[in-house]
C-alpha cells in the first residue's frame, strides 16, 4: 500500500508527459528533464497532454509505485505553469485535492507544522 505523508517531497512536472512511458521511462524523465534522482523517495506527478490523466511515480525503498488515474469525464482544471522551471513543489494535502480533480491553489489548509528551534 502506498501512503503519501506530509513529510514526503511532492514534485509536479510542468510539461505534459508521454503516457506510453512506464516506470523506467518516467524514471528517465526524472533524471533527464527534472535533473532529480527517482530513487530519492520524492513523489513525482505527471499529466498527459489532454489533461485527462495523471501518473504518480515514487520509490519506497524496495521498488517503484506507479499510480495512474484517468478521469471518466472532464479534465484536470488546474495544473501549475512556469516558463523557467521544469517542476513545482506541492504539499501532500494539495496532491490529494489535485487527484480528486480539484484546484489545490484554492485549499485553505493550515501551514505545515515545523519544529521551533531554540
d(CA 88, CA 80) in angstroms, rounded, equals 7
Residue 118: pLDDT band (50, 70, 90) is: low
Buried b (16+ CB within 10 A) or exposed e, 21-54: beeeebbebbeeebebebeeebbbbbbbeebbbb
SS3 content of the chain, % helix, strand, coil (to 5): 20, 25, 55
Q: Is the dihedral of CA 32, 35, 37, 43 positive or negative?
A: negative
- Give the tens place of pLDDT for each residue, 63-99: 999 999 999 999 998 898 887 889 989 988 899 988 8
Most trustworthy range by pLDDT among 21-25, 95-99, 102-106: 21-25
Residue 1: pLDDT band (50, 70, 90) is: low
The ranges assigned to domains in the chain are 10-106
Strands 10-13 and 53-59: unpaired
Q: pLDDT value at position 93?
A: 87
Amino acid at each position: 500500500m502506498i501512503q503519501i505523508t506530509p513529510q514526503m517531497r511532492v514534485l509536479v512536472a510542468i510539461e505534459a508527459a508521454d503516457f506510453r512511458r512506464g516506470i523506467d521511462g518516467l524514471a528517465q524523465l526524472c533524471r533527464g528533464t527534472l535533473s532529480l534522482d527517482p530513487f530519492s523517495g520524492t513523489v513525482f506527478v505527471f499529466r498527459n497532454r489532454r489533461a485527462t490523466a495523471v501518473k504518480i511515480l515514487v520509490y519506497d525503498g524496495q521498488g517503484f509505485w506507479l499510480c495512474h488515474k484517468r478521469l471518466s469525464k472532464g479534465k484536470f482544471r488546474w495544473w501549475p505553469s512556469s516558463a523557467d522551471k521544469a517542476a513545482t513543489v506541492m504539499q501532500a494535502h494539495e496532491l490529494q485535492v489535485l487527484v480528486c480533480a480539484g484546484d489545490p491553489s484554492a485549499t485553505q489548509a493550515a501551514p505545515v507544522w515545523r519544529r521551533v528551534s531554540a
